[in-house]
Chains A and B, each alone.
Chain A
Amino acid sequence: MKYIDEFQDPELARRLLDDIHATVTRPWALMEVCGGQTHSIIRHGIDQLLPDEVELIHGPGCPVCVTPLEVIDKALEIASRPEVIFCSFGDMLRVPGTGRDLFQVRAEGGDVRVVYSPLDALRIAQQNPDREVVFFGIGFETTAPPNAMTVHQARKLGIRNFSMLVSHVRVPPAIEAIMSSPSCRVQAFLAAGHVCSVMGVGEYPELAERFRVPIVVTGFEPLDILEGVRRAVHQLERGEHTVDNAYARAVRPEGNAAARTMLEDVFEVTDRAWRGIGVIPGSGWRLSPKYRDHDAEHRFSVTGIRTEEPAECRSGEVLQGLLKPHECEAFGTLCTPRTPLGATMVSSEGACAAYYLYRRLDVPTTTTVREASPVV
C-alpha cells in the first residue's frame, strides 16, 4: 500500500507531502524511534514518498529486539522447568535465544502460555496455586505501567506463586546514547507517541537543547508520521531544536500521572544491556527491593548461561540505524521470518521483518523491479 490514494485521507496526505517537498532544501536524516513507526513507514512506502533529501533512519524502539540474549536464555531456562507456567506476550514466542525459542520450549513440553494482558498471567497464578507462574515483563515505557500494576496487585492480593522476569527499557537514555555515538548521523527524532502518552514530554527538552536536535512526538498512522516528518523538517530548515507534540490527541504534556506514580513505586532505574547495542547507562527499569518477592531473577537461580549470537547476524547495526536491513548479506537468504537469525526478523516491530514483509522485491536476488513512487 504505497500509493497515496490508499491513505485514509489522500488529500491531507498530499498536502503534507507537498509542504515537505516545498520546505526541504538540503539533506536531513531523521530517526523514528519506535518499531511500530518503522513498520508503518515501510508498509505504506512513506520513505519513498518523501523527497530524496529526507532519509528515515530506523531506531532501536523494538522491545523484543533489544531484550538482551542473556535474559531470553534465562526465560527459556525458567520456562523449561516442570513446576513453571511461563506467560508471555505473543511476540516473544519466536525471538531466538541461544539455539532455541519459547515456541520450541513449548513443543518440548514446557508450559508456555501467551497472554493478552499481564493481568491474565496473574489470574492464571490465582487459578494454579500449586504452580509457579512467571510473566516475561519486557517493553518500553508504554508497557511498563501495565506490568507495574500487575506486580503491585500480586503483592497487594498476596499471590505468592506469581513472579515477573523484568527487562524494561526507557527511550530517553537511548536517544542520549545514539546522539553521543561518534558515528551518529541523526539530526532529528520522531519520538514514540505512546511512550509519551504515559511519560509526557518532560524528559525531552533537556535532550533537544543539549544535542541541538529537534524532537517531534509522533503517532503511528501514516498521516501522523507525515505530520511528524513535516514538523521536524520545518525545524531543521529553520535551524531550531525544540520539542514539539504532533500527536496531541493521545499525548498530554504531563503524560499519565497515575501511571508514572506507579512506575516510581514498582521499578527503579538500572543500567541495561540492549541486544546488539551494549549497555546503556540508566536505560532500564528493574523491580524495586520492595517487590523482591515477586522478582523472578531472585526466585529462580539461573546459572551457567552461555550466550551465543549467530556471527552472520548484523541486527545490532540495524538497531543503531547504521545499516538498512536489506544491506545485510543474510537478509532474505539465511535469515527470514521462518528461520530468523536475529530478533529484528521476527518481531512485529523489527525493521528486518518490516523490510521482508513489505519490501521483499528489493532483495537483490530477485529480478522484479518495483515501480517508482507515483508522487513527486
Chain B
Amino acid sequence: MCLAVPGRVLDIEERDGTRMANVDFGGVVKEVCLEYLPDLRVGEYAIVHVGFALQRLDEESARQTLELFAELGLLQEEFGDPWETAAAEAGMDPVEEVRNQ
C-alpha cells in the first residue's frame, strides 16, 4: 500500500480551490493532487501515492523506476481493476498466474 509510483505532470489546474494535475504513469493518466508539492511544474516528475504527489523525483530515476514497475506488473496492480484482482484471488490459484507469466 505504500507503493508510490513516479509520474510526469502533463497539465495543472485549480479545482474547488485545490491544485490538481493530470499525471502520466508510463501511459496511464490519473488525476493527482499537488497540494503537498505546490511548486511542481508541468514536465516535472514526482512520486505519487493514492493520487497525491508526495516528493519530487529527477527524470532519470523516475524513468528507471517506471520501467521496472511496468516489467514487474506493478503498474497493473496499482491502476488495474481491483475487483478483478480480488475475484481472481478468491477464485483462482494466483500461483498459476505468476508461473504462467
Q: Which residues of A contact B (CB under 8 A)?
A: 8, 34-36, 43, 61-64, 89-91, 93-94, 103, 114, 116-120, 138-140, 142-143, 145-146, 149, 153, 156-157, 192, 194-195, 197-198, 220-221, 249-252, 256, 258-259, 262, 336-338, 346-349, 356-358, 360
Contacts and interface: CB of A to CB of B under 8 A. Distances in A.
A153 B17 CA distance: 10
A156 B57 CA distance: 30
Contacts of A336: 93
11 contacts: A34-B2, A63-B2, A90-B86, A91-B1, A93-B82, A114-B82, A146-B52, A149-B36, A197-B54, A198-B54, A249-B57
B91 A194 contact: no
Q: Chain B: interface residue count, which band?
A: 35 or more
A61 B33 contact: no
Contact of A117 (B38, B50, B58): B50
B98 A357 contact: yes
Give the 4 A-B CB pairs with smallest separation, nearest first: A117-B51, A90-B82, A146-B52, A93-B86
Most A Cβ at <10 Å: residue of B54, B67, B68, B94: B54
Contacts of A356: 95
Contact of B37 (A61, A153, A256, A337): A256
A172 B75 CA distance: 29
B91 A338 contact: yes
A35 B72 CA distance: 17
Interface in B62-101: 64-65, 67-68, 72, 77, 79, 82-83, 85-86, 89-95, 98
A220 B16 CA distance: 34
A103 B54 contact: no
Contacts of A120: 51
B4 interface: yes
A114 B65 contact: no
A149 B1 contact: no
A120 B33 CA distance: 11
Interface string B19-50: 00000000000110101111000000001011
B58 A249 contact: yes
A251 B55 contact: yes
Contact of A139 (B2, B61, B77, B89): B2
A197 B55 CA distance: 6
A241 B58 CA distance: 30
Most B Cβ at <10 Å: residue of A118, A195, A249, A251: A249
A143 B2 contact: yes
Given A197-B47, A249-B61, A94 B54 contact: no
A145 to B, nearest CB: 6
B86 A94 contact: yes
A358 B98 contact: yes
B2 A195 contact: yes
